[in-house]
Amino acid sequence: MATCSALRGSFETNDEDAEQIRALTRYPDGSVKLRNPNIELMDQDILYHLALGSESHDLVEMFGDVKFVCMGGTPKRMEDFAHYIMQEIGYKIPTGTKLMDISQYSYRYCLYKVGPVLSVSHGMGPSSISILLHEIIKLMYHAKCKDPIFFRIGTCGGIGIEGGTVVISDNALDGMQDNNYAVATLGKLVKRPARLDKKLVRELQALAHSDDPYDTVTGTTMCTSDFYEGQGRLDGAFCEYTEADKMAFLKNLKEKHNVTNIEMEIIPFAALTHHAGIRAAVVCVALLDRLRGDQVATPKEVMNEWQLRPQILIARYIKKYLQNKGRISFDGHGSIAVKSPRRFKLVQQESQSIE
């Protein structure tokens, strides 16, 4: 860990290579190892915001088979995604039962499990997703999950793209165009690099179909901690800049930094998953083009259809992965090569459902 002095105050950075991270974050069998020596010394670990605990629940039994953690802002979207992915991977629950929100008594986040897929809401903004990520990464550890993959399925404002366009993020910047997640810790600013898995980005891009009735693009995503002034909107309760200032800011983001979209969680998502050695990707649909306005005025039914688009891409990935037992790779021509003809056989898992 290096200590640096910068104009904005002293901070510590933690830049490591993939091998170093792997050694720190995995046991030999691929299960998740925590970078916190305190946890294994504790009698129990209460995952307070998920309403789960390492003593009160058999986390290995409940979650040991999880391979994919999919998250998005709203409980409704993630409940819908749980039902959608259930249908897509052909997961069956006993007749007369229904999917249960496992974290319902947290009254914070929702959490559904569909075989190897967790579908969880993260709320809005860096703090909300950061709390969730700490607890979900600890859940992966307690449950002994092996090499889980995380996805954020979100919405965003586009810059110079049509509403309805799907953006796969290949880079993340914060509101100051910095590519780190900075958290004030014990009075010092600790910065962790916000890095996304480039291979996962290419694999997802290859799963966008040329006949999809919308574009899927790849680009840099800016993360803000506020929807209004933080994103240069003119329609917040306060505004102390002009429309020309806003346009110059957005155009500079696009032209100098290749920023394609703006949302509010990618920096902590990319930084905390990277620090935990977890492969992760962010796929968002643009609700509007910020060069054309600030208000989200698209009709609800249209927006609901748009919000399915990132889910469709992630479902294609999960299906492909399960069908080919994790062997997804490139054929060198931009499409996914199937290495094994064997189909994934869905085994009836423990029921996560109740009447």
Ligand X SMILES: O=P(O)(O)O[C@H]1O[C@H](CO)[C@@H](O)[C@H]1O
Ligand Y SMILES: O=c1cc[nH]c(=O)[nH]1
Q: How many residues bind ligand X (CB under 6 A)?
A: 10
Which range, of 8-16, 24-32, 161-169, 260-268, touches ligand X by CB under 6 A?
A: 260-268
CB of 315 to ligand Y, least distance (A): 22
Instruction: Tell me if 286 contacts ligand X by CB under 6 A.
Output: no
Whole-number Å distance between alpha carbons of 237 and 93: 47
CB of 177 to ligand X, least distance (A): 18
CB of 336 to ligand X, least distance (A): 26
Give residue for tokens 């949302």: 263
From the list 68, 72, 196, 272, which residue makes contact with ligand X (rule: CB under 6 A)? 72
148 binds, among ligand X, ligand Y, none (CB under 5 to 8 A by kind): none
Which range, of 28-36, 67-75, 186-194, 230-238, touches ligand X by CB under 6 A?
A: 67-75
Is residue 125 marked as binding?
no
CB of 344 to ligand Y, least distance (A): 34
Give residue for tokens 């002095």: 5
Is residue 26 marked as binding?
no
Token pair of 301 as six digits: 């039914």
Instruction: Tell me if 80 contacts ligand X by CB under 6 A.
Output: no
Is residue 153 marked as binding?
yes
Is residue 155 marked as binding?
yes
124 binds, among ligand Y, ligand X, none (CB under 5 to 8 A by kind): ligand X
Give residue for tokens 């792997």: 22
Q: Which is nearer to ligand X, 124 or 338 (CB)?
A: 124
Q: Which is nearer to ligand X, 73 or 164 (CB)?
A: 73
Site for ligand X in 119-158 (CB under 6 A): 124, 154-155
DSSP annotation of 163 reads: T
Instruction: Tell me if 75 contacts ligand X by CB under 6 A.
Output: no
CB of 160 to ligand Y, least distance (A): 13
Alpha-carbon distances, residue 234 vs 14, 217, 226, 228, 292 (angstroms): 37, 27, 13, 7, 12
What residues make contact with ligand Y under the rule CB under 6 A?
155-157, 227, 231, 262-264, 287, 296
Tally: H helices and E strands in the chain: 8, 18
CB of 239 to ligand X, least distance (A): 18
Which range, of 70-78, 93-101, 134-142, 182-190, touches ligand X by CB under 6 A?
A: 70-78
Residues 20, 25, 30, 31, Cα dihedral to 10°:
170
Which range, of 49-57, 69-77, 98-106, 109-117, touches ligand X by CB under 6 A?
A: 69-77
**Closest-CA residue to 276 (of 2, 89, 13, 25):** 25
CB 174 within 8 A of CB 222: yes
Site for ligand X in 199-238 (CB under 6 A): 227
Give the interface with ligand X as residue ranges (CB under 6 A). 72-74, 124, 154-155, 227, 263-265
Binding-site annotation: residue ranges for substrate? 231, 233
